[in-house]
Chains A and B, each alone.
Chain A
Amino acid sequence: MVVNNNMKEQEMNTKKNTSSVILNAENLSTYFHTDQGIAKVLEGVNFSLRQGETLGIIGESGCGKSTTALSIMGLLQSPPAFIPEGHIWFKKIDLLTLSNEEKRHFRGRHIGMIFQEPMTSLNPVLTIEDQLTEPLLIHKGLGKKEAIEQVSFLLESVYIKNPKRILKEYPFALSGGMRQRVMIAMAISCAPEVLIADEPTTALDVIVQAQIIDILKELQGQENGVIIITHDLGVIAEMTDYVVVMYAGCVVEKAPVLDLFNNPLHPYTQGLLGAIPRPGMRKGTNTLIEIPGEVPNLLNFPKSCRFCNRCNKAKDICFSHLPLLKEVADKHFVACFLFE
């Protein structure tokens, strides 16, 4: 049994290594015009998502996780947002060059998204049926009857027991966990190649969170690529293959999930991992690591390492130059002058 599992894992790994890149963010920068100047919310973000892989993006609020997702989806309002440089390659297409009309065909069909707040992301005045069938009617050109049939099948796949009844309900009649299931069903309804989940479990209770994670895990096995955005290291450890750590709009470290947890290199990643109480840890015996200082203001940020003011290992060069991502071990990248 164990051998079998190992073989399976190896097979999976080779598959992942050879499988093609579906989504690739290349030097992506997203800025916002504000009254006080330009806020550089994303600066030179690079990562790629392979087929069958689950990519985790982790960081604290304001680090640009959600902006990354919205940039990929083309959902940022412009102005104030603008993307001065970079590419988002979906297979051979640069998503940033598409017109609004073309983007509309792309969203939902090729890239699905699950939002954080299931209450605000469902339309309160439409029934679940209306909302769930819409993408199938538009993207797949199905008839109403066929669509309803497929949709109830989808709801069953996210473990909703009586889909016929739920389809007639309005969002307010459903609990948070049920709404999030409906959101997941909607996101996967057109079988998109990429699924982006932006904090899919943050608004939920722990038991419901565990159920939603189980459902998302089942989706991973399929051919598509998944991007999970979260601030919860537990979710990252349970679900992802490869992790991107973001801080103040920059990628500071990216690595396969085991490498990242066993050998975090960037001082920020080390701080994040030390700051959470793990099961079994007790006050007195274990102390939580504090990261001194506050997240910097993104307005008119100087050309220096964005973490330098909070870093206890900062050198002179950290205050004058922006470190670039460098591969220090196999697929393990870190942006820090300690490793130059």
Chain B
Amino acid sequence: MHNIVLRCDSISKYFPFYTGFIRRKKKFIKAVDGISFELKRGEILGIVGESGCGKSTLARTLLLITRSTTGKIIFENQDITNFNEKALKPFRKKMSIIYQDPYASLDPRATIKSIISEPLKIHRMTKRSEIDDRVESMLEVVGLGKEAMSRFPHEFSSGQRQRINIARALILEPELLIADEPTSALDVSVQAKILNLLLKLHDKFKLSIIFISHDLSLVQYLCDSIMVVYLGQVVELAPTVGLESTLLHPYTKALWDSIPIPDPEHHKKSGKLNINEESPASIDSDSFSGCKFYHRCPNAMNKCREVIPTLTKITGGHFVRCHLYN
């Protein structure tokens, strides 16, 4: 057993696009720009950021659904970055993903049984005669009855569909589960059920989970550590215990202060948020010579415009990319 399930070494994913006269000039959108981290066995890592910051691209790159432009992905001590599909197959069954949209991620023409059993068939994990039993017990684990087997996705509510998604992701008993905003399409009461289910399964299957979300309070509740991504780069990596008082990066602080607190007696400290406009598109960020957050940062200095900050260690597991803390 390796203590570190997944390690990635400055992985990047650039998407080329062409501009200029007869589209000759080649430019890149740096969706993921040099991200490194380690995921320990049994850890739940939260990845937080605004839309367009590269969270989902990172998820797809980690699973080698899209190939990274540079960098290394090391799964259980083996560099799998350049493996071809055939060599990857044994690794594929150890990693799986739950998608955000419970409607688009299930084939409307397939029965629940064939949806959940498909990974088993592809990886030839079980004898044909045992497939029914496996699917049935998996359905039970996620809280659905066996009568669901012959039904179709449209007969289920969004919460139930997300359970089916989870069942499909876990039927091969993977080591690593990536949950890409699994609850953002759900109502709060359903969200609570799915989160409780994920925590239960985390214990049951000894899963390591990467939980992607835009909701900081959710990540803080569920995860052991948190990685804040801004325009493809990690700006802060911290353990979630006592997160509120240990946050350092101006962007993370702004994210935290933006959460509407469900308590009418709570009054905001600062009043108005001290942050500029909205996130610039990652295309434009290419031309910045200094910190990518410079244009929105309330604490920006001259140095920030000129020098790119590096991810610096503050304490044990806490890293920040900001000149204020160098």
Number of interface residues of B (CB under 8 A): 44
A228-282 residues at the B interface, CB under 8 angstroms: 231-238, 257-258, 261, 271-282
> A175-B278, A210-B257, A279-B244 in contact; A237/B188 too (CB < 8 A)?
no
Judged by a CB distance under 8 angstroms, whether B299 is at the interface is no
A157 CB to closest chain B CB, in angstroms?
A: 15
A277 engages B260 (CB within 8 Å): no
- In the bound complex, how far is the Cα of B326 from the Cα of A28, in angstroms? 62
Residues of chain A with a CB closer than 8 A to B155's CB: none
> A175-B278, A261-B263 in contact; A290/B196 too (CB < 8 A)?
yes
Judged by a CB distance under 8 angstroms, whether B246 is at the interface is no
> A206-B214, A207-B255, A294-B157 in contact; A288/B196 too (CB < 8 A)?
yes
Judged by a CB distance under 8 angstroms, whether A328 is at the interface is no
- In the bound complex, how far is the Cα of B157 from the Cα of A176, in angstroms? 28
A-B contacts, 18 listed (Cβ < 8 Å): A60-B187, A60-B189, A177-B278, A205-B51, A205-B279, A206-B215, A206-B216, A207-B255, A209-B260, A214-B272, A231-B187, A275-B191, A275-B192, A279-B216, A279-B261, A281-B220, A283-B199, A288-B196
A203 CB to closest chain B CB, in angstroms?
A: 10
The residue in chain A whose Cβ has the minimal distance to the Cβ of B241 is A282
Judged by a CB distance under 8 angstroms, whether A289 is at the interface is yes
Judged by a CB distance under 8 angstroms, whether A21 is at the interface is no
Judged by a CB distance under 8 angstroms, whether A48 is at the interface is no
- In the bound complex, how far is the Cα of B189 from the Cα of A287, in angstroms? 13
Judged by a CB distance under 8 angstroms, whether B221 is at the interface is yes
Residues of chain A with a CB closer than 8 A to B1's CB: none
- In the bound complex, how far is the Cα of B195 from the Cα of A178, in angstroms? 33
Judged by a CB distance under 8 angstroms, whether B26 is at the interface is no
- In the bound complex, how far is the Cα of B260 from the Cα of A261, in angstroms? 14
- In the bound complex, how far is the Cα of B222 from the Cα of A149, in angstroms? 50
B261 engages A238 (CB within 8 Å): yes
Residues of chain B with a CB closer than 8 A to A205's CB: 50-51, 214, 278-279
> A207-B275, A275-B192 in contact; A61/B187 too (CB < 8 A)?
yes
> A214-B272, A277-B222 in contact; A207/B262 too (CB < 8 A)?
no
A5 CB to closest chain B CB, in angstroms?
A: 11
Judged by a CB distance under 8 angstroms, whether B259 is at the interface is yes
- In the bound complex, how far is the Cα of B275 from the Cα of A208, in angstroms? 10
B188 engages A206 (CB within 8 Å): no
Chain B 292-315: CB-based contact to A (< 8 A → 1; otherwise 0)? 000000000000000000000000
Q: A258: which of B190, B241, B264, B272 is its contact (CB, 8 Å)?
A: B264
B188 engages A278 (CB within 8 Å): no
B142-167 residues at the A interface, CB under 8 angstroms: 157, 159-160
Chain A to chain B: the 4 pairs with minimum beta-carbon distance, closest first: A234-B260, A277-B221, A210-B258, A275-B192
Judged by a CB distance under 8 angstroms, whether B265 is at the interface is yes
A263 CB to closest chain B CB, in angstroms?
A: 12
The residue in chain A whose Cβ has the minimal distance to the Cβ of B50 is A205
Judged by a CB distance under 8 angstroms, whether A190 is at the interface is no
- In the bound complex, how far is the Cα of B240 from the Cα of A281, in angstroms? 11
- In the bound complex, how far is the Cα of B50 from the Cα of A247, in angstroms? 31
Judged by a CB distance under 8 angstroms, whether B193 is at the interface is yes
Chain A 200-237: CB-based contact to B (< 8 A → 1; otherwise 0)? 00000111111101100000000000000001111111
> A206-B216, A210-B273, A283-B199 in contact; A234/B259 too (CB < 8 A)?
yes
Judged by a CB distance under 8 angstroms, whether A291 is at the interface is yes
> A206-B259, A237-B261, A282-B221 in contact; A275/B188 too (CB < 8 A)?
yes
B23-56 residues at the A interface, CB under 8 angstroms: 50-51
Judged by a CB distance under 8 angstroms, whether B125 is at the interface is no
Residues of chain B with a CB closer than 8 A to A277's CB: 195, 217-218, 220-222
- In the bound complex, how far is the Cα of B192 from the Cα of A236, in angstroms? 19
Judged by a CB distance under 8 angstroms, whether B266 is at the interface is yes
A72-88 residues at the B interface, CB under 8 angstroms: none
Judged by a CB distance under 8 angstroms, whether B254 is at the interface is yes
- In the bound complex, how far is the Cα of B259 from the Cα of A311, in angstroms? 30
A206 engages B255 (CB within 8 Å): yes
Residues of chain B with a CB closer than 8 A to A275's CB: 188-189, 191-192
